[in-house]
Structure 1
């Protein structure tokens, strides 16, 4: 018997929480959903990751207006995934900012990713008819870009590969707040389908070098003490390493991908099965890890057709 594909069964509305993290930093979050960060200063607003459709992104605008009547000047994409990007036109920003790596991925596979994600995550694509096409960055940086918002320094950085090759963080040094995108998630299973699994642990160590006092993850609630931040980043690294080591052992044993998936799933489920989207992620995670460890350095493109083919091969009866 097959379990339901990806997150197609996740159709319930999730209560929203709009949280002030620091003087200028805010978070809009809901269980299982992608987080949206905001930097709001007296005269400017930045959105860090929007929603999957312009219709859904209007909700972000409504929350921002409870704090500021100023227009949204910047949208920052922490990575290229459609669920983080395609709502951007609803904000009418002056600039859409992304790393060079994310820009390259959008060009290479953005359309396929959108078609893949909408099949996996239909609830996150409410009113997909409001999507009028791909969203393209207007400002692309390679390693680091700094903007000043009413005297608040906002550093937008690519410190290494992990969740994708273009992962972007936003750092407020004056308030010691770090927005990590999906490099770090709280209460949710890391998605590794487009990851660089062998490089991810070093990128996580680079995040700790900022010595943040507050952290806004890609999913879940914010961390508000350095101790909790270290614990969360450590837990993220432990998951990635456990995934890598289990798949590596299966390859060393000469097992086929299906056997490696079954063994890795059984190994990780007792510790991580309670995390949201665990069932959704594991097939994609093991498939990508197997590819990387057998010499496919860059992730293969996920299409809606490849998603189902892989799912049926690994999760079917």
Structure 2
């Protein structure tokens, strides 16, 4: 398998080897997710689709141009429920969509794409939602939900390639899944790995995410394709694990001292992660620690969380 330096972080399809490809979307920020293609003799498998129909169509056309014009998609693996990994499912009506049971259930209760489209339409020009999601077109998306589900682990075959699906959620979401090719030593992690960016904990607990990192680190892997960010290796997983250990430790001290989660997020020193994008995600991540430690955790209002993240961005831009 080629060395990691082979792959530039540029938009488009990148060949990993043995009929395995990663489709990258820099800069990996909100909504700019990665996907994968595993080719076989008679059928091919996508690992995730993209945030809207146009982006997913562009990805598929690129695959046809660079792999084969007769490229057919037999399976889609949805690594988790977020729309930037699932909204393009409808473009492949004949494909079997495989996901964990928790992911399938979460998808059915997620905010529908048309609601997102309406929110963007009504938002003022300078609204933060336009900054994060204004590049995406949520109109016309008809959600295709998983047609085949599993608990904890499932093995599939693509051509002669063995693919192990390992459910490691709840962590980022309720049903996060890894797609691991043991012979090729390649793993598609979905949003269990954010490379060169702060992750975001929507479900948790953080201890599960640390365990997920340990699961990956215990595997024989040369190439890690993250849900967002450049193609990497196990060093990125180790860094992510250390990030969560650090955040949990620092937030726990402040929780025990009676500090609010918001104040704790601002006080924690994150200089060692200063090169990582999306530092505003410290807020939901610290809140996740507080939720883990509380005997009576209360669900946070997602609109409030995003408002606090907007304030974080503004303060750091001004500072």
TM value normalised by structure 1: 0.82
Please state if 1:18 is matched with 2:13: yes
1:113: Cα distance to partner?
A: 12
- Residue in 2 aligned with 1:6? none
Indicate conservation of the 8 Å contact 2:162/2:181, yes or no.
yes
Please state if 1:256 is matched with 2:257: no
Please state if 1:276 is matched with 2:277: yes
- Residue in 2 aligned with 1:128? 138
- What is the DSSP-based 3-state SS (H/G/I as helix, E as strand, rest coil) of the residue aligned with 2:189? strand
1:67-216 alignment runs, 5 A limit: 67-68=67-68, 69-111=70-112, 115=116, 119=129, 121-123=132-134, 126-132=136-142, 134-216=143-225
Structure of higher RCO (CA pairs closer than 8 Å, 6+ residues apart): 1
1:263: Cα distance to partner?
A: 1.0
1:33-44 alignment runs, 5 A limit: 33-44=32-43
Cα distance change of structure 1 residues 17 and 107 upon mapping to structure 2, 3 Å threshold: closer
- Residue in 2 aligned with 1:219? 228
- Residue in 2 aligned with 1:238? 242
1:243: Cα distance to partner?
A: 1.3
Cα distance change of structure 1 residues 314 and 127 upon mapping to structure 2, 3 Å threshold: closer
In structure 1, the gaps of 5 or more residues are 1-13
Partner Cα separation in structure 1 for residue 45 and residue 113 of structure 2: 28
- Residue in 1 aligned with 2:286? 286
Indicate conservation of the 8 Å contact 1:204/1:233, yes or no.
yes
Cα distance change of structure 1 residues 114 and 246 upon mapping to structure 2, 3 Å threshold: farther
In structure 2, the gaps of 5 or more residues are 1-8, 121-128
- What is the DSSP-based 3-state SS (H/G/I as helix, E as strand, rest coil) of the residue aligned with 2:156? strand
1:98: Cα distance to partner?
A: 0.8
Indicate conservation of the 8 Å contact 1:81/1:110, yes or no.
no
Partner Cα separation in structure 2 for residue 315 and residue 53 of structure 1: 26
1:194: Cα distance to partner?
A: 2.8
Partner Cα separation in structure 1 for residue 206 and residue 190 of structure 2: 16
1:312: Cα distance to partner?
A: 6.8
Partner Cα separation in structure 2 for residue 40 and residue 301 of structure 1: 42
Partner Cα separation in structure 2 for residue 184 and residue 128 of structure 1: 25
RMSD: 2.8
Please state if 1:60 is matched with 2:55: no
Residues 113-152 of structure 1: CA deviation (Å, up to 9, x unaligned): 974997373145x2211313x3311111112222222222
Cα distance change of structure 1 residues 188 and 114 upon mapping to structure 2, 3 Å threshold: farther
Indicate conservation of the 8 Å contact 1:50/1:84, yes or no.
yes
Indicate conservation of the 8 Å contact 1:75/1:95, yes or no.
yes
Which of 242, 246, 251 matches 1:247? 251
